[in-house]
Structure 1
Amino acid sequence: MGFYDEFDAKPKRTSAQWLASVIIAALVGSGSTLLLVPTMLKANLIKLPEQSQTVISNGNGPVQGVTYNVNSDIVQAVNRAKPAVVTVVNLQKVDSFFSQKDEQPVGKGSGVLIDKQGHIVTNNHVVDGASDVEVVINDEHVKAKVLGTDRLTDLAVLQVPIDKIKDIQPIEFGSSDALQIGEPAIAIGNPLGEFEKTVTVGVISAKNRKIPVEDPTGRVTYEQTVLQTDAAINPGNSGGALVNIKGQLIGINSAKIAKSGVEGLGFAIPIDEAKPIINQLMTKGKVVRAALGVGLGLDVRDIPENYRAGLTIDYGVVVSAVQPGGPADKAGIQKGDVIAKIDNVKINTFLDLRKYLFSKQPGDTVQVTIYRNSQEKTVSVTLGELK
């Protein structure tokens, strides 16, 4: 039988196999024979697994230790990436006992040094509302300049003086697009703002997940594409590094599902999607996006049927206001119009509209199909810049 569960089916042992059995039995049966281990290792009669192990005693006192170096791929990846991960401190002015505004730390997150010019990437929510930002480098609190932030993608870029990071090797960029489901993922950050450079290990659980981004009213205005990982990501890890087995940056840790009974659901912004945002924040201090110059009301599908009098379509977005002198105003779009298509692409919701506009640049011309008083009309609009 295949599993050799019958004695007479077991293959006969060779003399060499019997000798090996005797040696192992002797080692197990007598603690004194541990003295033979170093000699047998050198003679390749026995082998140890590739992990750290030390023999420290034979029961009668210390004996010669057997040690060997553990230098796995994960250890090497961590050693390459960890020096570039820093703590980011959000300082805000708060009322003191004497009714004065004192600057105090209100939160801590993580950041990643990406070049020798002192640029550090973190999350927008890590520095949001800060009057000042500090970065902890080699136990020193260093003032950082906020070069730019972007709420929609939850990214921010800081800069610290070059002399403060001269001895730190910036992290190397990898590719999030090239990732495979199931390959190792290593998160490095400062959970709870206290445990600096904590390392957690998992896998890439999924790619191209979508997390809704809401405005202050709770309306979903954007969808952030993220990587999903089961590497532990906790408060304070935000803005830290998610790296691959080569120690290359593949994502910026951003969020986790904080719900009772839910574990292993962490999310990171893919580095291939983050790079163009990072570059704009570094060079322009903001992300330039196209806009129609309209205030958008309800999605048509969210309007109760008994209030849809006069509407001949069951999709689209109602215009709630028009910016005076803006692109839509110049094209003749009015309050109450329903935007149904752009460049013949169907617009079901506000999110559809925003996604399409964000694929364009200010100055681009698009064809907008609207419905007004049950009449279809298409107008040409030269896009402006989202403020």
Structure 2
Amino acid sequence: MGFYDDSAKNHKRLSAKTWITLVVSASLLGSGTTTALMLPFLTGTKQIKLSQTNTALAEENPAAVQSVALNVNSEIIQAVNKAKPAVVTVVNLQNDGGRFYGNQAHEAGKGSGVVIDRKGHIVTNNHVVEGASQVRVLVNGQTVNAKILGTDALTDLAVLEIPTDKVDGIEPIEIGISESLQIGEPAIAIGNPLGEFEQTVTVGVISAKNRKLPTQDRAGNIVYEQTVLQTDAAINPGNSGGALVNVKGQLIGINSAKIASSGVEGLGFAIPIDEAKPIIEQLITNGKVIRPALGVSVSWEVKNIPANYRKELPVDYGVIVEAASGPAQKAGIESGDVIVQIDNVKINTFLDMRKYLFSKQPGDTVKVTFYRDSEERTVSVPLQELK
């Protein structure tokens, strides 16, 4: 025999009023959301304003309802407040020769820039101002004409200049150190995405250091590899030239590129400030970056030569000279020579050669080892300025 509660026989039928009382009690014991949804039904046509209810509860029990004011002042907020005023909008204006705009300059694109000193110098990307007949900067709520002091396509950097009185009241961004960054360290990107949303802030981390992004010439040939920081802070079109800062609000990189492909997210890149600083200084001082050149053009890398032709060469690495000029020609280097070493650095590719040469200065002398037929030779070559 099962359990049986005989006292249930003596219960009277519950009235409708009692049912409502039970429902209200149950709802109050349940979720606040359920109670809120039921209130209009339970009170008939009268709508209860929650603000009135809260006031009534507060009068009965002052501790029941409290207004909480949050004072959030995290490191990231402090960093943004410190760095954001120095990030400006850069507008690229181009003249189409009168075909559509009556020979008037029209807006070709927008990017971002960073005020780096009180002299009115602004750092941005070369591709932000490339092809511009005029550049304007939106700073301090004003649109100001800017002068292009210099650009460098290899590193994708450019420096602009505006009158010093236009940066009054703006604290130039503090320059940080990118070499000391750690993987996983917070990174804050500030810029002008899509050319419309000024001083937008996105936050992520340093995903990787010392990544390499190839720089191509107009023919599609890789002529340089730029070292970059990788971050998952959102970088969109228009962010180019903007600031990547650390939690101290210090500039650690110039936002430059992202990988935009279906299914790819969080792959943004910035030029490390340690790499950018010497370029910026030369652009301000010289209006260009002065780099050394050996005086040779390269036709092939040995590793890319078809195997049936490669076996005729004395070595299986190096670069083949297409033509020599200037000091290299005077030193005896000729077309067809295979350069395998400069000083003590082994040369496998054109980029190996360029990277090492760019660590030198025009006027420095290097020792070039090469093969002519099966004979190994070494000559000294004074470096000239790259044109």
TM-score (norm 1): 0.83
Q: Shift in Å at residue 214 of structure 1?
A: 1.5
Q: Which residue of 2 aligns with 1:164?
A: 166
- 1:278: which partner in 2? 280
Deviation of the 1:96 alpha carbon:
4.3
Matched, 1:386 2:386: yes
Q: Distance between the aligned counterparts of 1:92 and 1:275, measured in 2? A: 28
Residues 344 and 369 in structure 1, CA contact (< 8 A), matched pair in contact too: no
Q: Look up the SS of the partner of 2:287 in the other structure.
A: coil
Shift of 1:373: 2.0
Are the aligned partners of 2:140 and 2:167 in contact in 1 as well (CA < 8 Å)?
A: no
In structure 1, what residue type is equivalent to 2:275?
E
Distance (whole Å) between structure 1 residues aligned to residue 100 and residue 236 of structure 2: 35
Q: Distance in 2 between matches of 1:99 and 1:186?
A: 39
How does 1:11-90 map onto structure 2 within 5 Å?
57=51, 59-61=53-55, 65-90=67-92
Q: 1:232 aligns with which of 231, 234, 253?
A: 234
CA distance in 2 between partners of 1:97 and 1:308 (Å): 52
Q: What one-letter code is carried by the residue in structure 1 that aligns with 2:142?
A: E
What displacement does 1:139 show? 2.7
Aligned to 2:356: 356
Find the aligned partners of 2:99 and 2:351 in 1 and give their Cα distance: 46
Matched with 1:122 is 124
SS at match of 1:235: coil
Aligned residue for 1:101, secondary structure, equals coil
State the superposition RMSD in angstroms.
2.0
Partner in structure 2 of residue 336 of structure 1:
336
Question: Match of 1:261?
Answer: 263
User: CA contact under 8 A between 1:310 and 1:374: conserved in structure 2?
Assistant: no
1:305 aligns with 2:299: no
Partner of 1:37: none
CA distance in 1, matches of 2:375, 2:188: 56
Residue of structure 2 in register with 1:142 after alignment? 144
Contact kept, 8 Å, 1:312 with 1:374, in 2: the verdict is: yes
> Which amino acid is the alignment partner of residue 125 of structure 1?
H
Poorly superposed stretches of 4+, deviation over 4 Å: 27-31, 60-64, 95-99
In structure 2, the gaps of 5 or more residues are: 1-27, 33-49, 59-65
Per the alignment, residue 20 of structure 2 pairs with: none
Partners in 1 of 2:266 and 2:155 — Cα distance?
22
Rounded to whole Å, the distance in 2 between the matches of 1:133 and 1:66 is 48
- How far is 1:67 from its partner? 1.4
| Shift in CA distance, 30/369, structure 1 to aligned 2, threshold 3 Å | closer
Q: Distance in 1 between matches of 2:134 and 2:370?
A: 46
How far did residue 57 of structure 1 move? Answer: 4.1
Paired AA for residue 332 in structure 1? G
Larger Rg: 2
Q: Work out whether 1:319 is the aligned partner of 2:321.
A: yes
After superposing the two structures, state which structure 1 stretch, 355-364 or 79-88, moved more: 355-364
Distance 2:30 2:125 in 1: 59
Deviations 1:337-356 (CA, angstroms, capped at 9, x unpaired):
11111113211110110011
Identity value in percent:
71
Helix, strand or coil: the match of 1:212? strand
Normalising by structure 2, report the TM-score. Answer: 0.83
Question: Following TM superposition, by how much is the alpha carbon of 1:301 offset from its aligned partner in structure 2, in angstroms?
Answer: 1.1
Q: How many residues align?
A: 335
CA distance in 1, matches of 2:88, 2:190: 10
Alignment match of 2:224 (pick from 213, 222, 225)? 222
